[in-house]
Amino acid sequence: MRILVVGGGGREHAIVKKLKENKEASEIFVLPGNGGIADDAICVDIGASDIEKITEFAIQNKIDYAVVAPDDPLVLGCVDALEAAGIPCFGPCKSAAIIEGSKVFAKNLMKKYGIPTAAYETFSDIKKALEYIENAPVPTVVKADGLALGKGVIIAETREDARAAVISIMKDKKFGESGNEIVIEEFLQGPEVSVLSFTDGKSVVPMVSSMDHKRIGEGDTGLNTGGMGTVAPNPFYTEQVAKECMEKIFLPTIKAMNAEGRTFKGCLYFGLMLTKTGPKVIEYNCRFGDPETQVVLPLLESDLLTIMKAVTDGNLENVDIRFSDRSACCVIMAADGYPVKYEKGKEIFIPSEIKDKVYVAGAKKENGRLLTNGGRVLGVTAVADDLRTAIEHAYKLAETINFDGAYYRRDIGKKALKAIMEK
């Protein structure tokens, strides 16, 4: 079977490694992939958002099944284009990917169907937004409507910050056209949980829960990043919380999308905050999370390709989906200076015996050498019987990987461990 994976980060590397466990996956092509993924699949230099070229490639190369992983191509309709060319896909079509593509859409959906989320107002008029700020409680959260590389959210501590946020998004177009419309919402507090789920639009199967570490600095300080590490499972996500989420959030969201004529098939990611008044949705993503995937898939005991095909075929309920009850920790190694300014082109040394635990993101191959080529360079994941051991092992593995200016947080999983101790 010839498989195509669209994307080129650590998440896609994790997907490729898992797909390869199925013997049927004889050839895997990744567009564009990266220097590390190239050890596991055939990478072809076609951009992940170049839908026309992707479709052309898929037809020419007689692809049997495609997995579209990143948000951009999903929101732009990559699955629609591939399906129109007769290629079965994993991933939502454009009309369903809007659940991530437009925050205004997502918020209005939740309001209409009674799905718990932060109270909010939407604005397309800057004057009205600024007027609203004058009486809004602070801190307040200002979000650009569209995709903004995960950076379109500003938490404003004061009214002045909130005003500045509105102006920077709506007037100065800090996030481009994403800021034509904004959401201003209530500031929520509580532990955050990521729950990725498989859904074929009929049933929804949550994967093992996880916890991201979004800030660059230890103790959750400094700028937001694409994610500096993850652990799974997330100890705050108890069985009771899981039950509540299924009843009040997961199933209602699937039903709401069906009712809107936007059936979602693929991986639906629920970004949740566990507040004092119950779990609430912070965001939906129409795809696997990064770096959540790098801890979730190593714990998946069932065959990923079988699950994905069942999602496509609409018979997910007939598939056995099992996760190990062990724990996983992924430490992201970044280039010094990320997420602001950093150098590229540093040689990366990964001991060959740990390569199966390494998910490469920002790297390229040049004359057989692996060189850094992005901010988040790679992630390394350890799985163990308990979280403490998984964390220890992940850091031991990280110590054996070298490149000039490698930076990683030393406290990935610390908050989760503390929560386990206090249980």
Q: What character string, x for contact with ligand AMP (CB under 6 A) and - otherwise, covers 134-153?
A: -------x--------x--x
> 32, 88, 139, 150: which one contacts ligand GLY (CB under 6 A)?
150
Give the whole-angstrom CA distance, residue 104 versus residue 121. 9
Among ligand AMP, ligand GLY, none, residue 201 binds (CB under 5-8 Å by kind): none
* Distance, CA of 80 to chain centre: 21
Q: Does 100 bind ligand GLY (CB under 6 A)?
A: no
Which residue's entry shows tokens 């989420």? 245
Stretch that binds ligand GLY, among 161-169, 232-240, 288-296, 348-356 (CB under 6 A): 288-296
Structure tokens at 288: 């696997």
Identify which of residues 55 and 225 has a Cβ nearer to ligand GLY in the complex.
225
Q: Does 71 bind ligand AMP (CB under 6 A)?
A: no
Read off the amino acid at residue 383: V
> 116, 152, 227, 339: which one contacts ligand GLY (CB under 6 A)?
227
Q: Does 190 bind ligand AMP (CB under 6 A)?
A: no
Q: Before 339, cis peptide (omega within 30)?
A: yes
Among ligand AMP, ligand GLY, none, residue 413 binds (CB under 5-8 Å by kind): none
Q: Binders of ligand AMP: how many residues, by CB under 6 A?
A: 14
Identify which of residues 187 and 395 has a Cβ nearer to ligand AMP in the complex.
187
Q: Which string of DSSP letters, residue by residue, matches 179-203?
A: GGSEEEEE---S-EEEEEEEE-SS-
The candidate with the shortest Cα–Cα distance to 195, out of 129, 66, 285, 323, is: 285
H helix runs in 142-250, sequence order: 159-166, 239-245
Q: Does 10 bind ligand GLY (CB under 6 A)?
A: no
Among residue numbers 14 through 53, which ones bind ligand AMP (CB under 6 A)? none
Asked if residue 193 lies in contact with residue 211, where contact means CB atoms within 8 angstroms, the answer is yes
Contacts of 298 (CB under 8 A, 6+ apart): 14, 328, 381, 383
Read off the amino acid at residue 112: K
Q: Does 188 bind ligand AMP (CB under 6 A)?
A: yes
Among ligand GLY, ligand AMP, none, residue 285 binds (CB under 5-8 Å by kind): ligand GLY
Contacts of 81 (CB under 8 A, 6+ apart): 51, 52, 54, 55
* Distance, CA of 362 to chain centre: 16
Start-to-end Cα distance in the chain = 47
Among ligand AMP, ligand GLY, none, residue 153 binds (CB under 5-8 Å by kind): ligand AMP
Asked if residue 348 lies in contact with residue 370, where contact means CB atoms within 8 angstroms, the answer is yes
> 8, 290, 338, 403: which one contacts ligand GLY (CB under 6 A)?
290
Give the whole-angstrom CA distance, residue 92 versus residue 286. 7
Minimal CB distance residue for ligand AMP: 283
Q: What character string, x for contact with ligand GLY (CB under 6 A) and - otherwise, covers 68-97?
A: ------------------------------
The least distance separating ligand AMP from the CB of residue 240, rounded to whole angstroms, comes to 22
Q: Does 118 bind ligand AMP (CB under 6 A)?
A: yes
Among residue numbers 243 through 282, which ones bind ligand AMP (CB under 6 A)? 271, 282
H helix runs in 3-102, sequence order: 10-19, 51-60, 71-76, 78-84, 94-101
Name the residues that contact ligand AMP, by CB under 6 A.
118, 141, 150, 153, 155, 185-188, 192, 214, 271, 282-283
Name the residues that contact ligand GLY, by CB under 6 A.
150, 212, 227, 285, 289-290, 292
